[in-house]
Amino acid sequence: MEWKLTREPLASVATDAIIVFHSKERESTQGMAREIDEALGFRISSLITAGEITGKLGEVTQLHNWGKIPSGRVIVVGLGEGDQTDLHQFRHAIAAASRAAKQKGLKSLGIGCPSSIIDRYNAVDAVQAIVEGIELGTYEHQKYQSETKKRELKSVLISIPQLNEQAAQAGIERGQIFARATNFARYLSHEPANLLTPQQFVDHAKQVAEKRGLDMEVLDESRLADLGMQALLSVARGSEAGARMIVLSYRGAPESTEVLGLVGKGVTFDSGGLQLKPSPFMLDMKEDMAGAAAVLAAMDAIGELRPHSNVLAVIPVCENMVNGQAYRPGDVIRSFSGKTIEVAHTDAEGRIILADAISYAKRKGATRLVDVATLTGAVVVALGHEATGMMGNDEEWADEVKSAARIAGERMWELPMYKEYGIYVESEIADVKNEGGSPAGCIQGGLFLQAFAEETPWVHLDIAGSATAPRESGIFAKGATGVAVRTLIQLAVRFG
């Protein structure tokens, strides 16, 4: 998509459509919308008076120009409460408008930034939100139909009469990088498991490393065995695809010993193992590597942005399948850390492979950790698809991750890690067990992982709900969302 800036007012811009905004508390059009309204003979105002345009967040109304302005159409999108609208809601409103334009087959858009946003946020963040809203809102998942009709929005012109051009240009560049990375994670997460095996995921990682100049190490099964990573190897035993551990390193602050460690769960297909999932729950298990996708996509963006920070990514990839070699309930596994794990349930495999990955990230020098994983169905019960479940062992580090998420516009909710919950992962025969029944299921996953993070400041992000959108809404197409990518990028920038 091509992006350009102009000092011309929207009323003078010649595109297929222009986007203007209206808020619920406004009884008439304001700012740029007023100028357009006057040019159209107050048709927008008439619809507001009639109650057909209400300003509800994400409401989209399309009008033709009746030969009154250069652009072919006007798209009026609701901003909700206006002065209360934050960048998260702003992105979603823009996404709804741009998706409507794309569905009509339009190729070019003009858009400005409402004064309510300009007054509350800096120009870089405001323009970045515009770019992300359109790039994310018009994204389509890869399809494998023999005949597809692909509609594509090709260009966007941003009118910035009252903004600094250098700041606006920086917002465009950042928005493109953040959105491109998110869409890359969406693509990976949505790929069928037969087209994205562990080895094919490794191939994608190699392409990112080569493109961005990242250091890369891939541990194959022989090397994993030499290192004693029986946790990862045990989960992979039931699959012919085997296991790999991908290690990517970005050194943007070589004078510093501080290293941000990102760990992503990469189960490219999860059958549940011997304790097989019910068939309705197995269909979408190609997306059980969304955490790995988020980490890889974030590293792609970090390599492009080049922040003043050091970032290490550790990504374990495998399948959880069933054959005569598959690991069993009741097995005891020795992990890379030396801790032993009692397998209480073979469908709680993600935390097992993350145990080795977290320990290895610490061995490789990570001083602060974030793991991202589609870990538990329990987090979907607790938070639905709207927010990511978050846990951690260090309040200051958790606050830093929450701040990055807030800036990125991704919702996270911190869950308690009370010591009393520890009883669920206590084992009578091993150092820890991987599952303790249905109570506090999401927290159990966090407590298990905490045993391997130990004293290193660490945050766990359970994205089992937020990794998937059940319906088209705002910046989300139905399916994989690419959640956590923008938070991880923002965190790497702030880490510097």
The residues annotated as belonging to the active site are: 277, 351
Cα of 74 vs its chain's centroid, Å: 31
Element (H, E) at 318: strand 310-320
- Of 196, 78, 186, nearest to 138 by C-alpha is 186
For the chain, percent helix, then strand, then coil, each to nearest 5?
A: 40, 20, 40
| Tokens read off for 163 | 């903004």
Q: Would you give the DSSP letter of residue 341? A: E
Distance CA 395, CA 241 (A): 39
Helix (H, G, I), strand (E, B) or coil at 329: coil
The string of DSSP letters for 41-69 reads TSHHHHHHHTTS----TT-EEEEE-TTSS
- Of 398, 386, 404, nearest to 464 by C-alpha is 386
CB atoms within 10 A of CB 28: 13
For residues 133 and 94, the answer to whether their CB atoms sit within 8 Å is: yes
| Tokens read off for 216 | 């890369």
Distance CA 90, CA 136 (A): 13
Collect contacts of 393-402 with beta carbons under 8 A, ≥24 apart.
393/417, 393/450, 393/453, 393/455, 393/457, 393/458, 394/457, 394/458, 394/459, 396/457, 397/368, 397/457, 397/458, 397/459, 398/459, 400/491, 400/494, 401/370, 401/459, 401/461, 401/487, 401/491
Distance CA 426, CA 177 (A): 43
